[in-house]
Amino acid sequence: MSSCNGEDPRILDIKSKIRVVPNFPKPGIMFRDITTLLLDPVAFKNTVDLFVERYKDKNITVVAGIEARGFIFGPPIALAIGAKFVPLRKPKKLPGEVISEEYVLEYGTDRLEMHVGAVEQGDRALMVDDLVATGGTLCAAMTLLEREGAEVVECACVIESLSLKVSYEYV
């Protein structure tokens, strides 16, 4: 679900701070760039605050952020709600023992990895990324958490790509 109902002025401000860069990373793609949001301390704080307000009373024990832009939003949320932060990374970046999950790209596949032991049976998890489009990366992320026994409470993203209709049932 989108929380953009036009009533919270913080959301409209956040939306206005996100920049669209045409034809990146390739022709035809209108890239939604959150770096301009990060340049506005008030808008960036409002973004984090909105998530913290939503999740602080949901007994979340793990915030899992997807490399690399999920690393920007996830840790401040984790710190504010008292949860641990777990990075989900591209292959071969995490040292030590990992589990990995494949997901589909437009051309080919990629993999997401998580440390073995980062989460435990019964952990309540929040997934964080900057943007959701097809949901492929989030699906891989959720699977990693669930394979280790965590319960995924919700997936939170700053932006929902408006060009695609997304189903919110990831079961």
Partner 1 sequence: MFAAENGLRGDPRLQVISEAIRVVPDFPKPGIMFQDITTLMADHKAFKHTVDIFVERYRDMDISVVAGVEARGFMFGPSIALAIGAKFVPLRKAGKLPGEVISESYVLEYGTDCLEMHVGAVQLAERALIIDDLVATGGTLFAAIGLLERAGAEVVECACVIGLPEVKGKFRVNGKRLYVLVEPRQIDDCC
Binding interface with partner 1 (CB under 8 A): 19, 21, 24-25, 31, 33, 35, 38-41, 44-45, 48, 67-69, 71-73, 75-76, 78-79, 82-87, 89, 92-96, 115, 118
CA distances from 158 to 2, 93, 115, 118 (A): 10, 25, 25, 24
69 is catalytic: yes
Residue 156's φ and ψ, nearest 5 degrees, are -120, 130
Closer of 38 and 169 to partner 1 (Cβ): 38
Contact 86, 99 (CB under 8 A): no
Catalytic residue among 7, 97, 106, 169: 106
Closer of 89 and 124 to partner 1 (Cβ): 89
Catalytic residue among 32, 69, 89, 124: 69
CA neighbor of 155 nearest in space, from 117, 136, 129, 133: 129
Closer of 105 and 168 to partner 1 (Cβ): 105
CB of 118 to partner 1, least distance (A): 6
Q: How many CB atoms lie within 10 A of CB 97?
A: 8
Q: Tell me which residues are annotated as active site.
A: 69, 106
